[in-house]
Structure formats: C-alpha cells, structure tokens
A = this chain, B = another copy of it.
Amino acid sequence: MYNGAFLPSGSPMHTNHIKVRGYHLDVYQHVNNARYLEFLEESRWAFFEDYPLVEKIHGHNLAFVLVNININYRRPAFIQELLEIRTRVAKIGTKSCTIEQTMYLKDTDTLVADALVTFCVLDQATHQAVVIEGEVRELLEQMSL
C-alpha cells in the first residue's frame, strides 16, 4: 500500500470540487471504487487546462500514457458530501511523471482518498516512451512548484 509522502502543504496545486450524487454510489451506499477514478480524471483535465499542457504535448507529437494508478481508499464518501480534490505534479522522472491527487471532505481534514497517478510520455510516431525534456519538462516543473 502506498503511504503518502505528501509535498509540503505550501506547494501550489489545483483544487476541484465534486458533490456526491445518488448515481455515484453502489450497493454499499458509498461512492464506487471505479467512480473515484473518474473524479480524479476530471480533476486532472481541469488542472491541465489551466496550463497549456495538453496543447504543448500534442504540439510535439507526444502523448501522455497512463502506466499506474495507486489509490488508497481512506474513508467512504456518502451522498451529498462535497469532495475537494487537490492535484499536483509530484515527481518528474526521466521518462515518467507522477501526479499526486488527494481527496478531502471540503473544509475539513478528513482524507477520503489519495492516489499517485503515473504517466509516460510517448512519441506518437515511434510509439516509444521518450525522455521528458525541453519545453514539456519546463512546464511540468512549473506545475510542481
């Protein structure tokens, strides 16, 4: 199990809110485990949008490819609860990059879930993972400050 070694709380990050609805729940009356991954994806798109990340990546004929998600389910989320999802670039490796996402009950310290989401950068012509460098690396570094 991943033990979150979170970045300092002063670090910049993206914050997004999602309200739990009846259709997010499953037989246990909690948000279903797969639905959390949609909440995380929604929040990553919103984060990337604030930077020209997707455009920059595509402009270099590259693509992000998801290689791993490691998610801890800390506390069930119930109907009507308002979740705050915080997203940031946690680590930039040679050929991969890890996004950290934490999900809190809004205005509380109650952690609902946290996840590390790891991508490779793929050259769309060769379909090979490439070294993260140049403009793309600079942008990711800005997103992790």
* B-chain residues with CB within 8 Å of residue A79 when the two chains form the complex: 27
Number of interface residues of A (CB under 8 A): 33
Count the copies. 4
* B-chain residues with CB within 8 Å of residue A25 when the two chains form the complex: 25-27
Binds B, one of A34-42, A102-110, A135-143: A34-42
Contact with B along A8-27 (1 / 0, CB 8 A): 00000000000001111111
- Whether, in the assembled complex, A94 has its beta carbon less than 8 Å from a beta carbon of chain B, the answer is no
* B-chain residues with CB within 8 Å of residue A73 when the two chains form the complex: 65-69
A68 and B71 CA atoms in complex are apart in Å by 6
* B-chain residues with CB within 8 Å of residue A28 when the two chains form the complex: 22, 63
* B-chain residues with CB within 8 Å of residue A24 when the two chains form the complex: 26
Contact with B along A63-81 (1 / 0, CB 8 A): 1011111111100100100
Question: What are 7 contact pairs spanning A and B, CB under 8 A?
Answer: A1-B68, A1-B70, A22-B27, A27-B29, A28-B63, A65-B76, A68-B72
Interface pairs A-B: 5 shortest CB-CB: A22-B27, A34-B37, A1-B68, A70-B70, A25-B27
